[in-house]
Structure 1
Amino acid sequence: MSQRELRNKINISALVHDVSNAVVSESIVLKQMIDGEYGSNLQEIKTILISLWQTNNRVIQLIEMYQNHQSRDRVIGLNPSLINEFDFGDLLNNVYQEYMPKAINRGLRLHYKTCTKYVHGTRVRGDAIHLHRMCSNLLQNALSYTETGDIFLRLLNQGDDLVVLIEDTGVGIEPEDLANIFLPFYRGTISSPGSGLGLYIAMMVAYSHGLKLSVDSVVGKGTIFTIKFPYQVNNSYGVDATIPKKSRLSHALPGRH
């Protein structure tokens, strides 16, 4: 199989993976709405309807991007035509609202924690569709591997950097798996319910935006994924002229240059 054929196989598999996750989430919410969990009139259910509408729009945009031949040949992570400046706190709040029903359905407590003030604010430059995709896959991973307890989505500062933490109280990751979890189709030694693509997608998005994605995990206690937006003087956070034009998996993965 040529590199192009492999890239296309990974891209279509990743698309199916993310669309499937979105459809499952929407199905859960719709069932909860039918059961009256969000209220009985339009005003009461308006917030959750907006969340469903936003999720559906992102799915449509992902499909349209793949249908574009140029995008189909591009490695997952960043569409230059979609780079814009936006508030990352708003994006995370949308992710939180989208996944709250799924957490409730699994009997888990999902928390979104922010700071009262940020050193350089929370606006970033980047591809919002793919950055949402990154956070969604990391949060979905936390939900998939947590049977009981809490999941925390945090936005904070570490010095000048803007940092996202996704922390769970799940099964954890075996030490021998940590070096491979970001490889496409890799499934660890702990029984995996997924396809082995979610963490790969997250890493490729992070790398293509110049972000640092790392993981700390203790088996039986939980996992913390850290996304760091390095501060750039005069440029704030996100994409700048130094970001590589083409993302390669070997460049994205630690120790595989």
Structure 2
Amino acid sequence: MSVVENSQTDRILAVDDTRDNLILVQTILESEGYEIDLVSDGISALAKIAQSPPDLILLDVMMPGMDGYEVTRRIRNNPHLNYIPILLITAFHESSVVEGLDAGADDFIRKPFDTDELLARVRSLLRLKHSLDEQRKMARQREDFVSRLTHDLRTPLVAADRMLGLFEQETFCKISPEMKQAIAVMIRSNKNLMQMVNTLLEVYRFEAGKKTLNYESCNLPEIATEVVSELTPLADEKNISLKLDISQLDNSGENTAYVMGDALELRRVLHNLVGNAIKFTDTGGISIKIWENQHWVNVAVADTGYGIAPEDQATIFERFRQGRNKRSGSGLGLHLSSRIIEAHQGKIGLTSEVGRGSTFTIQLPKK
């Protein structure tokens, strides 16, 4: 009876420099319904895997030229390959098993092997492969669904925003002050929802590798000045200060602090960091400081707000990681900011103390 557990025949690559061993493995596995490819050395195995990745690899440890350990390491270090289970075949003592497992192999079997044991180990590793493939497929489907959903949500949200704006302007008829106040609340709520949807859409574009950055020469002090100008009214409403400090730059910031990057995305990061600082600060103020050293342009956004608990700081940049503060949002803004900075070959970090405020720092390579 066939042991193949999925609707598609599993392909197994057997690698051994001894022809008789390959023929034996081929005979055993083909009789169970598996499709077998045979190669006799490590270089040929890597070429075969790159051309057509198998579902499982049976790999002899001792081969001339490139041994099974090195083949395993190269497979595991190839970022373009999905997970492929590797079953090492060895005739040696325990230390060779340890070395193989450390190199990235999943299991081992010693020569001369028992047929039933070989088939059991093959079935076990293929079950693991199928399970991981199914999880990866479900994750792709889930992300595709969310991406499509957020994209489709934008259309009615934009339409609602325009219609509410017309109501507020009394385009259709006169409205009472109470109604104007209610409409203003609806407009703010709708904008918050649209911002959340846009952020979620951008996150999934990054996750799917579909985000294209338009690199150009960017003046960070200029971008920061625009952000401060836009967000100052929010700070004024809370009676807190918002200041930009470029005093450590030569020529007061002119012809300095340039980076190669996407100006809109870098502006998004600064807008998010400063906006968050305003949200979580009730007294004191926020300062944005820009300076540079030999290789980096540095930005620090410091506030005198609530601060972030130590147990939350380690995961603050992870997707959907919300803070404990009741004002915390979706947990996407900081994750997106970190993805944007990473895409610019930069670094983002945090220092914070509960009750004393937080400082987010950004490092970007100088132009």
Does residue 109 of structure 1 match 2:241? yes
The 1:72/1:181 distance shift into structure 2, 3 A limit, reads: closer
1:80 is displaced (CA, Å) by 3.8
Does residue 219 of structure 1 match 2:351? no
1:130-176 Cα shifts (integer Å, max 9, x gaps): 11111111111111111111100111124542100000000000000
Tell me how far apart the structure 2 counterparts of residues 197 and 190 of structure 1 sit (CA, whole Å). 15
What residue in structure 2 maps to residue 84 of structure 1? Answer: 216
1:85 is displaced (CA, Å) by 1.3
What residue in structure 2 maps to residue 243 of structure 1? Answer: none
The 1:221/1:81 distance shift into structure 2, 3 A limit, reads: closer
Give identity over the alignment, percent. 28
Tell me how far apart the structure 1 counterparts of residues 282 and 304 of structure 2 sit (CA, whole Å). 8
Q: Secondary structure at the match of 1:3?
A: helix
Does residue 141 of structure 1 match 2:273? no
The 1:164/1:73 distance shift into structure 2, 3 A limit, reads: closer
- Aligned 1:1-40 pairs, distance under 5 A: 1-3=138-140, 5-6=142-143, 9=146, 12=150
Which residue type is aligned with residue 112 of structure 1? L
Which residue type is aligned with residue 246 of structure 2? T
Tell me how far apart the structure 2 counterparts of residues 75 and 125 of structure 1 sit (CA, whole Å). 22
Which residue type is aligned with residue 180 of structure 1? T
1:79 is displaced (CA, Å) by 4.7
1:127 is displaced (CA, Å) by 0.9
Aligned pairs, number: 189
Tell me how far apart the structure 2 counterparts of residues 220 and 137 of structure 1 sit (CA, whole Å). 21
Q: Which runs of 4+ in 1 moved over 6 A?
A: none
Q: Secondary structure at the match of 1:2?
A: helix
Tell me how far apart the structure 2 counterparts of residues 81 and 228 of structure 1 sit (CA, whole Å). 18
What residue in structure 2 maps to residue 181 of structure 1? Answer: 316
Which residue type is aligned with residue 128 of structure 1? A
- Could you tell me whether the CA contact under 8 Å between 2:259 and 2:297 is conserved in 1? no
Tell me how far apart the structure 2 counterparts of residues 7 and 175 of structure 1 sit (CA, whole Å). 34
Could you tell me which runs of 5 or more consecutive residues in structure 1 were left unpaired when the two chains were aligned. 28-58, 237-257
Q: Secondary structure at the match of 2:216?
A: strand
Could you tell me which runs of 5 or more consecutive residues in structure 2 were left unpaired when the two chains were aligned. 1-137, 166-193
1:110 is displaced (CA, Å) by 0.4
Which residue type is aligned with residue 178 of structure 1? Q
The 1:134/1:78 distance shift into structure 2, 3 A limit, reads: farther
1:119 is displaced (CA, Å) by 11
1:56-91 Cα shifts (integer Å, max 9, x gaps): xxx9xx97xx69xxx974438995452111212111
What residue in structure 2 maps to residue 97 of structure 1? Answer: 229
Tell me how far apart the structure 2 counterparts of residues 78 and 206 of structure 1 sit (CA, whole Å). 16
Tell me how far apart the structure 1 counterparts of residues 293 and 210 of structure 2 sit (CA, whole Å). 25
Q: Which has the higher contact order (CA 8 A, sep 6+)?
A: 1
1:189 is displaced (CA, Å) by 2.6
Q: CA RMSD in A?
A: 3.7
The 1:179/1:77 distance shift into structure 2, 3 A limit, reads: farther
The 1:218/1:81 distance shift into structure 2, 3 A limit, reads: closer
Tell me how far apart the structure 2 counterparts of residues 76 and 227 of structure 1 sit (CA, whole Å). 24
